Structure 1
Amino acid sequence: MKTCVPYLCLFALFAMSLPSFADGQSKQAVAYDLVVKDATIVTMDPERRVINDGVIAVNGDIIAFIGTTSAFQTTTAKGIVAKQTIDAKGKLIMPGLINGHTHIPMVLMRGLIDDVTLDDWLRKYIFPAEARNVTKDFVRWGSRLALAEMIRSGTTTFADMYYFEDTEAEETKAAGVRGILGETWIDFPAPDNKSNAEMAAYTEKFLNKWQGDPLIHPAVAPHSIYTCSEKTLRDAAAMARKYHAPILIHVAEMRKELVDSIEKNGATPVQYLERIEVLGPDVLAAHCIWTDYTDMKILADRQVGCVHNPSSNMMLASGVAPVVDQRAAGMRVGLGTDGPSGSNNDLDMMEEMDLAAKLQKTYRVDPRALGAKGALEMATIEGARALHMEKEIGSLETGKKADFVVLNLNVPNAVPMFDVYSQIVYALKASEVETVVVGGKPVMKDGKVLTVDEAQAIAKGIEYGNWVAASLKN
């Protein structure tokens, strides 16, 4: 048997005990699930930082790093291991947009009836059309089509109130989008429930099923004070609070609603809801147009989230919400599209930001009334505050959800760029949305929606449109 020289044996043993250089590098390298590099990043964080030559690194559904390329290289001096890398050189990243109020299955009634008053639109056209056409499959395909549209325009979170919300929740989760989804309560037979007892039972089952889901936040949605009795409003609020769920409701949308409430209840819609103990930080109130300073103080003090819907309010001539005064009063004011039928006809939050700023300028006859940065705030961090989700979403910060949008700047309407907020709100369009990430997972990449079969959804949209048109002829 051969033996080695003692000092050579010792050297061999020492060498075998050392890890290889490659092994040492891989063990010390920082691992990420997703790295997006070389972008201009609009953070919407408390300092409203804009990071040039920036990097976002994600682990799971959380932002693990955000900063400059040089800072990233310093913190990862031993190297990185990334499962997926996106090169965003020459592109812009902003937080995912938050659509605070909509009814997404109504895309299947897009353009059905326009240019009428809100009261007529609801009672003469929409409620009858829904009674004849809205089924579980209608909601499924309407949701699927709408989700593709929202993803394409940079929406990563939306708040919805409609029927068959369990089906909508299934579609929203499959699309990888974040949803606050409210089952509608209304004091007449609805497409999914023919009585208040059925409505309550369906809602309770819905709440039980989806609570705790990382994407879906189930909610209770009493439609309004003019379609729900005091008992229904109180019962809806009680059920929501039993399950610690949000309450979604239309508030002070029409002047008629204000006049009727004062006549019937002796109070404005806001003051009536306060009197019957519905208002609170768990309430998301859509519109809030016809509000006076007393109403604004109540809404601010009760930390109610309010959602401004400029396209809808303009299209239905419902009035102009005093957004500047509401923000000054300390209200939590977000931004929404409203439904994509008759009250808007699309789900484009890029467009809503532009309109929100310009509508306030016109309303107050003051070009300084609401600037581009304020409009972007309403669609991002202030929208998150309206939902009481500002610790999770609405800005790009370490420890928050990795919900963001990559915008292409290599288009004629994107250059030159002097002010990034002005460019986003007044110049860029939904067509510039290139990649969308929700919870660290791309739902759209390089212009292709990954989580919805768009061709199938479009074909079904045409099919259901023909079905709706035929039903109204009978």
Structure 2
Amino acid sequence: MQVDLLIQARWIIPVEPAGVIHENHSLVVDDGKIINLLDTASAMQKYQPRALETLDQHVLIPGLINCHTHAAMSLLSGIADDLPLMDWLQNHIWPAEQKWVSESFVRDGTDLAIAEMLRGGTTCFNDMYFFPDIAAQQAVEHGIRANIGLIVFDFPTVWAENAEAYLSKALALHERLRHEHLISTSFAPHAPYTVSDEPLRKMLTFADELDSTIHMHVHETRHEVDEQLQKNGQTPLQRLHELGLLTPSFMAVHMTQLSADDIRFYAETGGHIVHCPESNLKLASGFCPVAACLEAGINVALGTDGAASNNDQDMLAEMRVAALLAKGVSGNASAVSAMQALQMATLNGAKALGLDDKIGSLLVGKAADVVAIDLSDVETQPVFNPLAQLVYAASRHQVSDVWVAGKRLLNKRQLTTLDLQDLRQRAAVWQQRLAGF
């Protein structure tokens, strides 16, 4: 039988079923989808591939899913380091954005982020930023999968002048993007402290009509929670629940401030958590109690946050930090195993986005979003357990090849849809502009 692609690999970790590691197996891809996963000897007898890839020192995994990004903020990486969140946000980032954010800023910043993400094994990102139409356009152009946040604020920005305008633009953009096979959308109200009740109610009505997910920063800092309590005697989570937002379609990003009661309550809503450990550590925002959340049955995914508060979009590093931090916070060395960390970076993200029927694991029938990681480097030798080496030792520089829907976007470390020299030049222009801010 003729097929488009056959990838032979030393190891394949499909993520589903959990804990399974195949050795000397092959992934068979046709028309952008996985049609088989079987031992290599049988695969070579059964299939005649138009393209054959032999990766005998590599582990294949599902494409990593970065479940919370502000992609264009790659251009702001390092502009205001070592500051607490509200100082960083109100006195540095928001003023810089007010002066510089434009269509060209978002285009160049998103391209820079896409290049970094692909070279690090990320095949899908969940974005929240201004000019989401431009982010979607760049994702389509470069072949990466994206969930585009339809942002909502109370106050005017470069994207819209008021909540009504944000919602109007959100609906129009959703309609424009609904036939793009690599693009999905979420409503993305920024945070409880930047969006008031009435816009949230209207947004929820639209989200229900469109069967859309909702993506929002929630319980990111102690200050946020205390301020809401002082204002009306409710935590942000309690307020969002009262408004009807907390459902299985809701993604709460950060969630560093959670009591045991909060965890039990949130688990009952069916909502998801997007954990951004490196950003939370850098901004000293607190620790999401991931082990307790997982034990309560909450689906926890991973994100990097924007590069302005993290300085990179490295999901392999995020996965490692998430596993180690969970052990330290819980006082339990068994908390968040290597397998759970990989699930958080792949399948759990797909579940949060409502895309787990398409991506997140290497199952027959799913899209061929695949990443190959070379474990032959001395830094990952010897390989007693490829899963453990992947989570606790491997670097993004060992990502050799990436496919999205069967299309090769990284070929032996070389991007196929982006020009690195051009990206460097564009980044240098923005560095000069921003340096004097």
1:469 aligns with 2:407: no
The residue number in structure 2 matching 1:9 is none
The residue number in structure 2 matching 1:112 is 79
The residue number in structure 1 matching 2:2 is 31
CA contact (8 A) 2:249 2:271 kept: yes
The residue number in structure 1 matching 2:350 is 384
Q: Which amino acid aligns with 1:445?
A: N
1:257 aligns with 2:224: yes
Q: Which amino acid aligns with 1:371?
A: S
CA contact (8 A) 2:9 2:60 kept: no
The residue number in structure 2 matching 1:139 is 106
CA contact (8 A) 1:164 1:183 kept: no
The residue number in structure 2 matching 1:406 is 372
Aligned partner of 1:55 among 20, 26, 37:
26
Please give the per-residue CA displacement for 1:321-361, whole angstroms capped at 9, x wherever unaligned.
Answer: 000000011101001101100x2010000100111111122
In the TM superposition, what is the alpha-carbon distance from 1:307 to its structure 2 partner?
0.5
Query: Structure 2: how far apart are the matches of 1:126 and 1:70?
Result: 55
CA contact (8 A) 1:357 1:370 kept: yes
Please give the per-residue CA displacement for 1:235-284, whole angstroms capped at 9, x wherever unaligned.
Answer: 22222222222211001000011111222232222121010111212212
Query: Structure 2: how far apart are the matches of 1:364 and 1:291?
Result: 13
In the TM superposition, what is the alpha-carbon distance from 1:47 to its structure 2 partner?
4.3
Query: Structure 1: how far apart are the matches of 2:296 and 2:163?
Result: 37
Q: Which amino acid aligns with 1:306?
A: I
The residue number in structure 1 matching 2:48 is 81
Q: Which amino acid aligns with 1:82?
A: P
1:326 aligns with 2:297: no
CA contact (8 A) 1:221 1:236 kept: no
Query: Structure 2: how far apart are the matches of 1:177 and 1:265?
Result: 43
TM-score, normalising length: structure 2: 0.97
CA contact (8 A) 1:222 1:232 kept: no
Q: Secondary structure at the match of 2:253?
A: strand
In the TM superposition, what is the alpha-carbon distance from 1:364 to its structure 2 partner?
2.4
The residue number in structure 2 matching 1:206 is 173
CA contact (8 A) 1:44 1:377 kept: yes
Aligned partner of 1:295 among 262, 265, 281:
262
TM-score, normalising length: structure 1: 0.90
Q: State percent identity of aligned pairs.
A: 35
CA contact (8 A) 2:69 2:305 kept: yes
Query: Structure 1: how far apart are the matches of 2:311 and 2:215?
Result: 21
In the TM superposition, what is the alpha-carbon distance from 1:387 to its structure 2 partner?
2.0
CA contact (8 A) 2:225 2:236 kept: yes
1:281 aligns with 2:252: no
**CA distance 1:256–1:52, shift in 2 (3 Å):** same
Aligned partner of 2:215 among 241, 248, 258:
248
Q: Which amino acid aligns with 1:204?
A: L
Q: Secondary structure at the match of 1:395?
A: coil
Aligned partner of 1:365 among 295, 316, 331:
331
1:355 aligns with 2:321: yes
Rg bigger for which structure? Answer: 1
- Cα-Cα RMSD: 1.4
In the TM superposition, what is the alpha-carbon distance from 1:73 to its structure 2 partner?
4.3
The residue number in structure 2 matching 1:340 is 307
Aligned partner of 1:311 among 278, 295, 302:
278
Query: Structure 2: how far apart are the matches of 1:352 and 1:251?
Result: 19
Q: How many residues are aligned here?
A: 437
Unaligned runs of 5+ in 2: none
Q: Which amino acid aligns with 2:122?
A: T
Query: Structure 1: how far apart are the matches of 2:195 and 2:428?
Result: 33
Aligned partner of 1:127 among 90, 94, 100:
94
In the TM superposition, what is the alpha-carbon distance from 1:302 to its structure 2 partner?
2.3
Q: Which amino acid aligns with 1:163?
A: F
The residue number in structure 1 matching 2:35 is 64
Aligned partner of 1:229 among 159, 177, 196:
196
In the TM superposition, what is the alpha-carbon distance from 1:70 to its structure 2 partner?
3.1
Query: Structure 2: how far apart are the matches of 1:317 and 1:461?
Result: 28
Q: Which amino acid aligns with 1:228?
A: V
Please give the per-residue CA displacement for 1:157-177, whole angstroms capped at 9, x wherever unaligned.
Answer: 111100100100010111111
Query: Structure 1: how far apart are the matches of 2:2 and 2:264?
Result: 48
Query: Structure 1: how far apart are the matches of 2:331 and 2:19?
Result: 27
Aligned partner of 2:134 among 151, 161, 167:
167
In the TM superposition, what is the alpha-carbon distance from 1:230 to its structure 2 partner?
1.0
Please give the per-residue CA displacement for 1:203-244, whole angstroms capped at 9, x wherever unaligned.
Answer: 111111001321111221100001111112222222222222
Q: Which amino acid aligns with 1:227?
A: T
Query: Structure 2: how far apart are the matches of 1:194 and 1:152?
Result: 36
The residue number in structure 1 matching 2:422 is 456
Q: Secondary structure at the match of 1:213?
A: coil
In the TM superposition, what is the alpha-carbon distance from 1:301 to its structure 2 partner?
2.4
CA contact (8 A) 2:164 2:199 kept: no
CA contact (8 A) 2:64 2:345 kept: yes
Moved more, 185-194 or 288-297: 288-297
CA contact (8 A) 2:103 2:131 kept: yes
Q: Which amino acid aligns with 2:28?
A: A
Q: Which amino acid aligns with 2:252?
A: A
Q: Secondary structure at the match of 2:128?
A: strand
CA contact (8 A) 2:11 2:386 kept: no
The residue number in structure 1 matching 2:397 is 431
1:442 aligns with 2:413: no
